[in-house]
Each structure stands twice: as structure tokens, then as C-alpha cells.
Chains A and B, each alone.
Chain A
Amino acid sequence: MTRLLEIDHVSVGYDGTTVVHDVSLTLNKGVIGCLLGPSGCGKTTLLRTIAGFEPASAGRVLLDDQVVTQAGWTLPPERRQVGMVFQDFALFPHLTVAENIAFGIRGQSSRARRERVTELLQLIGLPDYGRAYPHALSGGQQQRIAVARAMAPRPRLLLLDEPFSNMDVELREGLAREVRAILKQEDITAMLVTHDQNEAFAFADRIAVINAGRVLQWDTAYNLYHKPAARFVADFIGQGRMLTGTVLNEHEVETELGVITGQIPEACRPGNPVDVLVRPDDILPDHGSHVFGEVTDKAFRGANFLYTLRLASNANVLCLAPSHENYALGERIPLKLGFNHLVIFPR
């Protein structure tokens, strides 16, 4: 795999405050990446730095091994061949859909341009909309046109700045999959910015979790969920609660739910107090168990229930139980541990 984008110790700041701190990551050709984090974490600023809209105060950004940004120098966005899809789509209201898509194509015959536009309209499933004006279209259609417009000049890299956040929640995941399919079909390398993890999971191959301007983990969705590298990642991705425990030896931790086996980081010595991440799918109701949790809240989700349980120590854990395991509020459920991945953090 060839490296397309390299972010090398980049910091970005304005007006005396640093928004992005010493970020490094690389994105290979054909891979779809994602910058995921709460609002205000600096992810959009980092994306705009990649696009060339924000200068970096330290570090370098490389595209195809060629420096495009370094402290004190920025290649302007129009010379980077980096496409961008904006949160509000930013379609040009005075141009038709076809003219919008053709806007960035240059140095080609008008026939080639027309063909490219037709091809893209086909690709996004709007073949008959070339002559329409943007305001006549629905949000989802506008969004696909914004993607097609950014793809039209065949950019080296496509950046997407929260492109689904203006959409209805029910539509987001579907649209994210649809756009992903389009990008994969054209073998486009892309970077998405979002604060919605489901969107990130549906869209990206690799996800960077960002908090307070720092990249905490740059990994697959599966690893972020099951092997979070930092407490913030564990909290931010998926649901779960921390349970206190004590390290017994190199592969065992004792908690009030019982002894859990798994890999223990070297920093944690036997006898050390630790926090154990308990995901809702790590605990199962089991009628032969002697450990109980009292139901303090329950949410019916069709195929399953999500219970909030209070343990003897007053600590809370979540439990995802099959739908037929229907317990009442206040009832005590016998519990069994079902850990596949042990995630612990030293206290």
C-alpha cells in the first residue's frame, strides 16, 4: 500500500491558542479515514489544514510524499488537488447541477467534461437532474451532488466535513453507506470529519479519535471498541461503565463480579487498584450465578433489553440481555461474565 497523506507532528493555532496539538498520522491510498471527536476538539481545523485553508504553526503535511504545508508556508487549496465536501454543501446557487459538477473540471474538452458529468450523475443516481438548480432538490440529493462535484476533477484526496450532519438522523447511516459505496467504486482516498460514531463506523476504514486537539488512537472501529488505548476512547466509543478491581497476577483481575482473565498491561503490578471497562455485552444473565445486580433502569430495544444494574457496592453496570429475558424494575438479576477483551486502566 502506498502512502498518500502524511501528517507529521502538525500543530495548528490562531489568536494565541493552539487548537491542534502535535498530530501525526498517515493515510494509505484507497483508504477511507475519519476524524472522530466531540465538537470543539479540533477535528475540523485539522481537516481544513489538510485542505490548505488553515496554516500549520508546526509540523508538515505531505501529499504523495510532497510537502504541501509546513510552518510558515502553505500551498493554497486551489493547487492541492484536494476535493472537499462541506457541511452545508455550499452548492453554487446560480449554477445548474451539471454546471456545479463541471465547475472544477479544467483542461479538458467540453465533450470530456460533459461525459464526466453524465458519468457522475449516473454514479450518484441522479441522471436526470443535470439541468435542475440546487434549491429545487432535497437535502439528500444536494449532498450527493456536493460529493459528485468534489469528485469530478479526480482529486488525490477527498475531504468531507460533517457532510451528514444536516440530514435526518434516520437517513444518516444509510447515506454514509451510499457515499462510501460511491467512493469505493471510484477507488477514492477520503477523510471524513464527524462527531457521530455510528456514522464513522458506517463510513470509514480507519478512525482517529480526537480530543482537545490530540489524536488519541488511529485504528479500526473494531479495535477502538474492543481495545481502546485511552480512557477517553473507552468512554467516547460505545457504551460501558468502569468497575474498580485489583490486579491479582499477570493475567487476572478481581472485581466484585468475579475474577476476569485477560491481558494485563505491564504497568499494572499485582495488588494495584485498576478500572475495568465493562461493556453491556460483557455481562449476561445467568441463573446459576451468585452475583446479582438490581435493575434500576431498562430500555426495550426490540431484539434486546439494555438494563442498568446496581451492584452490591452501588457501582453501576450495563447489561444487554436478549428480549425474552424480561425483568422488572427493582428485580435482582443473577449475572455471569462474558469477557472476550479485558480493558483496564490503572487508577
Chain B
Amino acid sequence: MRTAPVSLQGWFSSSRLKRPDAWSLGVPLIAAILALPVLVIFGHVFIPASDVWLHLRQTVLQDYVTNSLILMAGVGVGVLLIGIPTAWLVSMCDFPGRRLFEWALLLPLAMPAYIIAYTYTGMLDFAGPVQTQLREWTGWGWGDYWFPQIRSLPGAIIMLSLVLYPYVYLLSRAAFLEQSVCVLEVSRTLGAGPWAGFHRVALPLARPAIITGLSLALMETLADYGTVQYFGIPTFTTGIFRTWFGLGDPGAAAQLAGVMMTFVLVLIVLERYSRRRARFHHTSGRYSRLPRYRLRGWAVSGAIMVCALPIILGFLVPSGQLLQWALRTPHMWMQPEFLGLVWNSVSLAGIAAVLAVALALVLAYGKRLRPSLPVNGAVRIAGMGYAIPGTVIAVGVMLPFAWIDNTIDGWMRDAFGISTGLILSGTLVALVFSYCVRFLAVSLQTVEAGLAKIKPSMDDAARSLGTPPRQVLGKIHIPIMRGSLLTALLLVFVDVLKELPATLILRPFNFNTLAVRAFELASDERLADSASAALAIVLAGIIPVILISRTISRSRPGHDTPA
């Protein structure tokens, strides 16, 4: 007895004989192309070191490693301290405003780290509103008082923690909600109160999910370029930029990226491992309404404080400041140049989103129609990009593309006397390709989840009712998948809109996007001028937050969603 997962096989072949076809060849090919940047970086690890590399190793490499490690350790502690308590409070306790906090705690996800960094810099530096107010109240002058320097390593840790904690919040909240009520009730019959129930039962059960969230937050930390560059902290990402553009040695930049990749690999292994373990921590499939601990008195104000603070500091204050700046600088957004930026960003993100979703569809269908070791492995490799920093991908894209351009150009000049110039590396092709590498995982995950809703037996049912395979696609698959495809499009769209380092490296000369322009203006200390572009990005970033919060509130059967 066997339920064949291969049911649309009639599309390309009618027999079950294992002969190579479009799917089993195409899927690994796509995956190989998407894996190219990472392979190029790995390849450079084995290339003999150049003088620049030796120089880097003697001088700054130590700094990069130390700073990146301190940053990751600090952000790790920060996101856990904010993410876990808030997740526990909104999923296990009852207090006024809980349902608002449930989704509002995700809002900082809409705030790119480099934007929050320069917003706080503008607010907290000597001429900013906070210090000015302080001087007015106290009558102090310059040099009379000490004020914490936000443009520092601790400052970067705080900034990144404020916008990255939602990863931990999101995953630990899902884990808390998935836990069987029975387990918690058992712990209560065995005499464990709320606190003991938390740290002896719920927390250990949620640990794999928390570690997954932590590793995602750390991947983002490692990938961050805008914040550390703006704060002047030498890390791997800034080092790669400096080596490439400052020292003009792409090879050494790639080697630096290779060293950085080992950090990424550790995080990937950590994430995969804890995801696997999370499956064994599922306790029971029997769900019922979670009995929440009802908080009273001081506990209520404490809970509200704990939940409100991250939202205020991570979203409301910076976006309020951005809004104020934007209103003060109407010349920045009431002009055709701004429209041009919006158009560039939107069209680029649109193209990348459509392409990433199309590729995800091919890969997901390949896995469904031809489940085999090479195909599944290829799909998994293609989905790795989310862990690779944009800087690394950009370097890995630039090197082979430049080589191809030079080869074609040389060949064309020899053969026809025509110079083709930069066909790939100097154009949007390189940029869109690197977006696909980086964000394919986002679309792949969503598309695969949508495809999983269509059971193979539905294909068979449609065919036994007289529908030929091609019509099955239109009558069954597309209508059922529509929602997931739209979600995938939106998620990639917004991610591309926010992306900074890869865009900075790979954009064609004089091609600007909202993110690049916001960062450039901020770097030139024109903070207020950059606000309108930044605000546009933040507004777009709210869309996926809404999508995610809607998905998770529906995810748990018996959870209190309006039916």
C-alpha cells in the first residue's frame, strides 16, 4: 500500500521510470546557480593569501572578530531579556492591554537597525532635543556634564536588541502557545505556582524555539552593516567594505567574508539543531483554551511596563522622531527626486519579489513532484541564503559576474571588435540576483507551506473527476495557493525594500533606492533630511508585521481568536 506523492507526474512523463527530466535536472541547476556566491566565498578561503590579507590579519582582523563577538554576545543577552518575558506575559498572563501588546510587540520588526541607530543618534547627541532640554533645565554648558555616548559598541548593542528582540518574542510565544495545557496543569497539581511553572516547565519546553529565535537575531546582528558603520565600530561587514573599496582588494574582501561565513555556519547549525529538537518537545496534540494567570495590583502595572517599554523605545519614539523630521523637511519628499527613489525601490523590490516567488514555486514543485535526495538537498541549499549576510552575498555575486563580464567583453572584442562592457556586474541584474539569493528562503517557506495544504489526493481526486493535469493547476492549485503566493510576494518585497549593504555594493552607478539614500543622507549628518525616506521604509515594514501577527493568532486551535 502506498500513497504516491508523485501525482502530477503526467505533466512531463507518464511513466514512473526514473529518467532525468526538466524537474530533476532543473531544480539542482537553479540551486547551484543560487549557491554560486557562497561557493565563490568558500573557494577564496583556499586561495593563497595576498599582501593585503596578511596586512589585515596582522592589524584589524583581531578587532573585527572581537567586536563582532562582543556585539553578538550583547545582542544575544538583550534580545533574550526583552523577548522571553514579553512572550510569557502576553501568552500566559491576563492583564489590560494584553491583546494590543500581542501584536504591537512585533512593531520594532518594521524598523531597520540602521534607521533606529541614526534616529537615536540625532535625538541623543549634543545638539539633540534630549541634551538641549537637559541643559535648559540645569543650566549646564558644554563639558559640564557626562552623557552616555550612543555611537559606541554598547549603543549598537542596545539599538540592535531593540529591533531584533521580536525574533525571540515571536518564536518563544509560538512555543508557549503550542505547549499543551495538560503539562502546565500537571505541574500545578504537583504544586508548582506560576513562577515554578514558568522556569521548570514552560521555559525548558520552549528552549529549542527560543534558541532558534536567538540564532535568527544573531544572524541579523552579524549581517548588520548600517548600524556599525554609522557608529564607527569595525566589524566583519564594515571590514569587507573597507577592504574592497578602501584597499581595493576584492580577493582579500572575499577571504574576510569566508572567515565571517564560519560564524554564520555555527549559527545555521545551532538553528537547525534546535529546530529539530523542537519537534521532540511537542507534548500533546490536545489543545484547549489556555488558562491564563490573572494578574492583579502591582503585577499589572509591572507587566504593562515590561511590554510597553520595548514598543515605545523600539518603535514609537524613533518613528515619532522620523515623522517630526519628515514634517520639518517637506522639500525632501515633495519633489520629483523622492518619487524617483520610491519608484526605484518599488520596481526593484517588485521584480525581485516576483522572481523569488517564481523560483520558490519551481523549487517547491520540484520537491513535490520529484522527491529525491539530490532535489531535496538542492532546495535546502537554495534556502540557505537568509543566513548569509548581504555583504557576503554581494562580494560572492560581484566576483563571478565581473569575471563573466570581462570574459564576454574580451571575447567580443577579439571576435567583433565590439566592447560589451559590464552586462551583469554593473547592472540591476547583479542586484536582483543577490536579492533572490538572500530572500529566496522567505518565499520558499511561504510557498511550501501553501503547497502543503494541497494534499496529493486532491490532485488525484480532480483527475478521477475528469480534469486533465494542466487544468488541475488552474482549478485546484492556483485558487488554494493564491493567499500564500501574495504573502510571499509581500514579504520579499518589504525585505528587499529594507536591504542596505548588498544594494550599496551592487547598485549601478547613480542608482539610488530609499534605503541607500536614507543611509547616505544620515551618514552626511543630514538626519532630518533622511527621515522621509526612512519613514517610507518603516511604513512598508509594517505590512509583514500585520501579516505575521494575523498568521500566529490563527495558528493555535482553540486559541482566543474571533471565529
Contact = CB atoms under 8 A, between A and B. Distances in A.
Contacts of A19: 2
Contacts of A15: 18
A293 to B, nearest CB: 39
A133 interface: no
Interface in A34-63: 39-45, 48, 51, 53-55
A80 B463 CA distance: 10
Contact of A44 (B2, B10, B16, B18): B2
B457 A87 contact: yes
Nearest to A74: B14
Given A39-B1, A54-B4, A74-B14, A86 B457 contact: yes
B463 A78 contact: yes
A90 interface: yes
B455 interface: yes
Nearest to B7: A53
Interface string B460-491: 11111111110000011001100000000000
A35 to B, nearest CB: 10
Contacts of B458: 90, 92
B15 A78 contact: no
A285 to B, nearest CB: 42
Given A14-B16, A74-B14, A84-B461, A104 B466 contact: yes
Contact of A77 (B4, B16, B460, B475): B460
A53 B465 contact: no
A150 B461 CA distance: 8
B3 interface: yes
A93 B480 contact: yes
B457 A90 contact: yes
B460 A90 contact: yes
Contact of B461 (A14, A45, A90): A90
Contacts of B4: 48, 53-54
Contacts of B453: 93
Contacts of A88: 455, 457
Contacts of B460: 51, 53, 77, 84, 86, 90
A195 to B, nearest CB: 8
Nearest to B466: A78
A336 B305 CA distance: 84
B2 to A, nearest CB: 6
A55 B461 CA distance: 17
A86 B466 contact: no
Contacts of A80: 464
A94 interface: yes
A271 interface: no
A225 interface: no
Contact of B1 (A42, A82, A91): A42
SS of A interface (majority): loop
Interface in B231-245: none
A206 to B, nearest CB: 21
A240 interface: no
Contacts of B1: 39-45
Contact of B455 (A40, A51, A79, A90): A90
A153 interface: yes
A106 interface: yes
A92 B476 contact: yes
A55 B467 contact: no
A77 B2 CA distance: 17
B7 to A, nearest CB: 7
Nearest to B453: A93
A79 B1 CA distance: 24
Interface in B276-307: none
Contact of A78 (B2, B3, B467): B467
Interface in B1-34: 1-4, 7, 10, 14-16, 18
A83 interface: yes
Contacts of A82: 464
B468 A76 contact: yes
Contacts of A77: 460, 463-464
A81 B463 CA distance: 10
A94 B462 CA distance: 13
B403 to A, nearest CB: 42
Contacts of A41: 1
Contacts of A152: 465
Contacts of A90: 455, 457-458, 460-461
B470 to A, nearest CB: 11
Contacts of B461: 84, 86, 90-92, 146, 149
B469 to A, nearest CB: 8
B42 to A, nearest CB: 35
Interface string B114-136: 00000000000000000000000
A103 interface: yes
B132 to A, nearest CB: 59
Given A44-B1, A55-B16, A94-B480, A153 B455 contact: no
Interface string A186-223: 00000000000000000000000000000000000000
Contacts of A76: 10, 14, 463, 468
Interface in B438-466: 453, 455, 457-458, 460-466
Contacts of B466: 78-79, 81, 104, 106, 153
A108 B158 CA distance: 68
A86 B469 CA distance: 18
B225 to A, nearest CB: 43
Contact of A150 (B2, B3, B463, B465): B465
A45 B16 CA distance: 13
Interface in A124-165: 146, 149-150, 152-153, 159
B468 A78 contact: yes
Contacts of B3: 44, 87
Instruction: With a 10 A CB-CB cut-off, give which of B18, B466, B475 has the most chain A CB atoms.
Output: B466
- Rank and list the top 3 A-B pairs by shortest CB-CB distance, nearest first: A104-B465, A90-B457, A84-B464
7 contacts: A53-B463, A78-B467, A78-B468, A87-B3, A87-B457, A146-B461, A150-B464
Given A42-B1, A94-B480, 13 more contacts: A44-B3, A51-B460, A53-B460, A78-B463, A78-B464, A78-B465, A81-B466, A84-B461, A88-B455, A92-B461, A94-B479, A150-B465, A153-B465
